[in-house]
Amino acid sequence: MTEIVRLALEEDIGSGDVTTRACVPQDQAARGYFLAREPLVAAGLALLEEIYERPVEKCKRDGDRCAAGDILARIAAPARLLLERERVALNFLQRLSGVATLARRFADAVAGTGCRVLDTRKTTPGMRALEKAAAAAGGATNHRMGLWDAVLIKNNHIAAAGGVRRAIERTRSSGLAIEIEVRTARELEEALEAGADHLLLDNLTPDEAAAWVRRIAGRARIELSGGITLANVRAYAATGADFVSSGAITHSARAMDISFRLEPSA
């Protein structure tokens, strides 16, 4: 059992489910199923076997589009076990399916442009790996998992390092591809001259971004970020940028409406 699942169960069950213990016989068996109550993209289904510590019949896979009324998974177990772990299972499924569903909406919005949607590190503390897996299931491309696996030099790094060129030169020892945020034409040219692989252009309008893309002219990969929403993401993707990134995929995803139905066994 992963630590996040253990902590979630411990948080919710504590010393025991007093309601279930009081009204449900210990030997009562039951079946249950998870039901999508609205259209969604499923995610988090693999966690069910960890949560219940027994086999689960998965009717859908992470990344599947589901209609209202679709059954996501079924399970047979003691009724007490199903009841005491229901909320934890739903919390994970609803949250992660929300991330996958929003990621799919972003990915669908840029389809055909050649631009890919990136997620960010704006995740729920402790749930980054799960939320990034859900984003990928929905069609987004995972950016860096944390501070250790990719270089992204932002404006505060540039200030602390003493400029764009110094920041890039000092980062080369990492052996990783270098992405750097540039905010002015001067910073752009300095970054390109210093050999930046990947440029982050933040808080531009689509028209401004298109002009910058033309100026860069393929000399580096381009990521656009800042203020990118479902309403405008296609306009940004159509500028010719390689990537658009949106923190909303993980920090603002709505929990999807999923319910658990229990049926006592004879």
Ordered by where they begin, the domains of the chain are 3-107+253-264 (3.90.1170.20), 108-251 (3.20.20.70)
List % helix, strand, coil for the chain (3-state, nearest 5): 40, 20, 40
- Condensed to tens digits (0 to 9), the pLDDT of residues 111-167 reads 999 999 999 999 999 999 999 999 999 999 999 999 999 999 999 999 999 999 999
Q: Which of 87, 116, 165, 183 is an active site residue?
A: 87
181 noted as active-site residue: yes
Listed in sequence order, the residues at least 6 apart from 56 whose beta carbon sits closer than 8 Å to its beta carbon are 45, 48, 49, 73, 74, 75
Which residues are registered as beta bridge partners of 263? Answer: 31
Q: Which pLDDT score, from 0 to 100, does residue 219 have? A: 95
Q: Which of 181, 190, 223, 242 is an active site residue?
A: 181
Per-10-residue mean pLDDT of the chain, 266 residues long, equals: 96 97 96 98 98 98 98 98 98 98 98 98 96 98 94 96 95 91 93 94 96 96 96 98 98 98 91
CA distance 132 to 249: 9
Global pTM reads 0.95
Q: Which of 49, 108, 169, 202 is an active site residue?
A: 202
Q: Which pLDDT score, from 0 to 100, does residue 266 have? A: 74
87 noted as active-site residue: yes
- Condensed to tens digits (0 to 9), the pLDDT of residues 36-51 reads 999 999 999 999 999 9
Contact 103, 143 (CB under 8 A): no
Q: Which of 74, 105, 116, 122 is an active site residue?
A: 122
Q: Which of 154, 165, 183, 219 is an active site residue?
A: 154
122 noted as active-site residue: yes
